[in-house]
Amino acid sequence: MIVRVLGDGQYELDNVEADKFTNLDAALARHVEEGDEEASRRDLASLLDYDHRNGTAVSDDDFRPSDQVLPYPSASLAEVKALLEDEPALIEEEHAGS
**3-state secondary structure at position 56:** strand
Residue 87's pLDDT band, with cuts at 50, 70 and 90, is: low
Contact 80, 71 (CB under 8 A): yes
**Residue 2 · residue 11 · CB < 8 Å:** yes
Q: pLDDT digit string (tens) for 44-56?
A: 999 999 999 999 9
Q: Check if the beta carbon of residue 77 is closer than 8 Å to that of residue 32.
A: yes
The model's pLDDT over 22-41, given as tens digits with 9 standing for 90+, comes to 889 899 999 999 999 999 99
Distance CA 43, CA 95 (A): 27
Contacting residues for 57 by C-beta, under 8 A, at least 6 apart: 9, 10, 11
Query: Given this model, what pLDDT does residue 16 score?
Result: 74
